[in-house]
Amino acid sequence: MSYPLPLPQSHPLLTVSKPNETIWQIELHNGDDSRLTRQLLEEAFLPALDVVEKDWRKALKSGRGDAALVIVGNTKQDKFFSNGLDYENAIKDPTFRKEVFNPWIKRLLTFPIPTICAINGHAFAAGFLLSLCCDYRVMTSGRAWCCFNEVHFGAPLPPPFAQIIKVKLVDPRLVRKCALEGHRFVPRELEAAGVVDRLVDGKSSDVLAAAVEFAKSREALAKGQVWGKIKEELYREVIVAIDEGRNVERPAKL
C-alpha cells in the first residue's frame, strides 16, 4: 500500500497515512469542519478502515502485529474536529442510516486495532459520536466543545447514539448531562470525567503528535487479534440497537 492515500481519489475528503511502522492515521479534511456526509463515509472512511485493516493483517502474518489507528480532523486549522452529519441532507436520504451510517458506526466501534481520536477542535453531535466510537481520546486543551446538541435543535437521539453515550460515559448523571441536557463539555470537564484520556496544549499538529505518541503506548494490544471481538461484547447494546434497526419517530404534533 502506498501512503499517503487520499480518498476518494477524485475529490479527497480524507487522507490515510502511516506516520511510522505501527501507526496508521486518518486525517479528515472535508472542509474545515469535516461533516460526515454520505460520500465521505461511503467512499472514503469505510474504504480507509478496510485499507488499514488489510495492511495490518498483512503485517500480522509477518509477525508484526503491533498496530494502532489515529483519527484526526483537518490539521490545517485549529477550530473544528467534526461538526457531525450534514443533517438536512442526511434526513432526506432514506437509505443513509441503514446502508451507510449505522454500518460505519459498527465498523469503527468494533475496529480490530486500538483507535485513538485526536480531537483537535469542536466535536458536535455525530462528530462527538465519532470520537466516542474510538477507544481513546486525546484532545486539545484549548477552546473546543464536545456536545450532543440534538435536544437543542429538536432531534431525537438515534438509538445507537444513546447506547454509545451510555456505554462510554457510564455515570447516569453524566449521561443525563450529555444526552438530555445537551451540555457543551469543555476539555477539562471531559478529562475530569475520564471521557478524554489526555489534554494537549497547542495547535492541531501538537494534538496529533500527542495522539500518535499515545497510540504507540497501546499498539501491542492489537496483536492478540481479539481487540475487536472483545469490543463486540462490551458494546453489545449498541450492536443490538443497530441490528434491530431501531428508530425513534418524532411526534407529529411538534
Partner 1 sequence: MSFPLGAASCTLKLSRPNADLWVIELCHGVENRLSRLFMSNAILPALQQIEEEWLESSCDGTVIITGNQTQEKFFCNGTIPVHSVPVVRELMAFLLDELFRRMFTYPIPIICAMNGHTFAAGLVLALACDYRVMTSGKAWCCMNEVLFGAPLPATVSAILRAKLPNAVILRKCSLEGYKFTAQDCLSHGIVDELGGGTSSNVLETAIRMADKVKAGAKTGVWGLIKEEIYREVIDTIDESRRVAFTSAKL
Please give the residue ranges that form the binding site for partner 1 (CB under 8 A).
Answer: 150-159, 161-163, 165-166, 171-173, 175-176, 179-181, 237, 241, 248, 250-251, 253-254
**Residue 241 Cβ vs partner 1, minimum distance, rounded to whole Å:** 8
Residue 164 CB, nearest distance to partner 1 (Å)?
A: 11
Least distance in Å: CB of 174 to partner 1? Answer: 9
Q: Whose grid coordinates read 473544528? A: 80
Indicate the residue among 92 and 250 with the shorter CB distance to partner 1.
250
Rank residues 94 and 254 by Cβ distance to partner 1 and give the closer one.
Answer: 254
Listed residue (110, 105, 195, 196) closest to 157, CA to CA: 105
- Beta carbon of residue 197, minimum distance to partner 1 (angstroms, whole number): 20
User: With respect to partner 1, which residue has the nearer C-beta, 166 or 198?
Assistant: 166
CB of 209 to partner 1, least distance (A): 35
Report the C-alpha gap between 177 and 182 in whole angstroms: 6
Residue whose CB is less far from partner 1, 94 or 154:
154
Nearest distance from C-beta of residue 30 to partner 1, angstroms = 27
Pairing of strands 14-20, 68-72: unpaired
In sequence order, the 6+-apart residues with CB closer than 8 A to the CB of 127 are 34, 36, 80, 81, 82, 83, 84
The C-alpha atoms of residue 90 and residue 142 are separated, in whole angstroms, by: 30
**Angle (deg, nearest 10), helices 159-169 and 102-109:** 20
CA dihedral 150→243→52→111, nearest 10 degrees, is 80
Shortest Å distance, C-beta 22 to partner 1? 36
Q: Which is nearer to partner 1, 43 or 150 (CB)?
A: 150
CA dihedral 47, 52, 58, 60 (to 10 degrees): -140
Specify the 3-state DSSP secondary structure of 197. Answer: coil
State whether the Cα torsion 224-7-16-36 is positive or negative: negative
Select 59 or 175, whichever has its Cβ closest to partner 1: 175
Nearer residue to partner 1 within complex by CB, 162 or 208: 162
